[in-house]
Amino acid sequence: MSAPPQSPAPAQHYWTVRGQKVRVPYFVPWSGEKSLPGRLVHRPGPGGIGLGYADEIPGDRFRGVLWVRMQRGQGNGRPHLPGVHPLRQRRCMGFFLCQVCGGPAERADGRHLFVMRAANGLPIAEGERTQTPPVHEECARESVRDCPHLRGTFTAALVEHIPLWGVAGIEYNPLTLRPRAPADGGKSPMLTEVAYEDRSRIGWIQAAREVISLHGVTTVDPADLGLAS
């Protein structure tokens, strides 16, 4: 799948971590970017009654799904590593942008590189879902070097097709408008993945991540990309 035409990568931001200057990934949030309030209410929509904001505006939704509200002020304050800014993550997914530099991530052969934490030590599988945007090879080398989250636990693949699958967010009870209890029995709400096609649930999600599915997957030896943990 070819990416839409894009402008060059946005301004880059750096931060000193343990005495070393590192680039802050594009989709990482900063302390100056605050979550914005929004009172949740029942609201009619194309799919029937669902979740909405009392003071809702068109920009609160994407593909008909309600999204969390968050300020945009990249570079303001301190970076929250390894957090994710929901709207920049969504932009990376929708326009196939590199998660590190924010520039177009499509390779000359039309594929996209994904470098992710290995689930149970397994490679990226055909049809696998992910909330992780693509990345350039050069930027991937930075990530593996600088990100403790990836160190020693990552896998890589080149992917031909990356359609939008759904969202990950907090699922609310349609009657009480309270977050549904986590499946693991914990007290804090967890992000639940819901497909766009699941019309019975998608209207009750407050999305915080875009989810894509990976097709035409070719596993890559990290060493061939110059990636070393």
Residue-wise pLDDT for 73-90, tens only, equals 999 999 998 899 999 999
- pLDDT, position 187: 54
> 14 vs 166, which has greater pLDDT?
166
Q: Please list the alpha-helical segments (H only) found in 73-155.
A: 86-95, 137-146
Distance in angstroms (rounded) separating the CA atoms of residues 126 and 123: 10
Two tokens at 180?
């549904």
What are the angstrom distances between the C-alpha of 130 and each of 28, 115, 210? Answer: 17, 11, 9
Residues 61-79 have a mean pLDDT of 96
- 212 phi/psi in degrees, rounded to 5: -115, 165
Higher pLDDT, 136 or 82: 136
Is 89 within 8 Å of 133 (Cβ atoms)?
yes
**∠130-4-213 over CA atoms, to 5°?**
20
Distance between CA 188 and CA 137 in Å, rounded? 36
Tokens of 163: 């359609």
Q: pTM to 2 decimals?
A: 0.90
Q: What is the pLDDT of residues 167-205, one digit of tens each?
A: 999 999 999 999 997 665 555 568 999 999 999 999 999
Share of the chain above pLDDT 70, in %: 91
Report which residue type is found at 191. Answer: L
For the record, the structure tokens of 161 come out as 């097709």
pLDDT band at 113 (very low <50, low <70, confident <90, very high): very high
- Residue 228 has a pLDDT of 66
CB-based contacts of 120: which residues, under 8 Å, 6+ apart?
Answer: none
pLDDT for the residue numbered 66:
98
Which tokens go with 28?
Answer: 């990482």
d(CA 65, CA 134): 23
Give the range among 65-69, 70-74, 121-125, 141-145 with minimum mean pLDDT: 141-145
Contact between residue 77 and residue 104 where contact means Cβ atoms under 8 Å apart: no
According to the model, what pLDDT value does residue 188 have? Answer: 56
Reduced to 3 states (helix: H, G, I; strand: E, B; else coil), residue 37 is coil
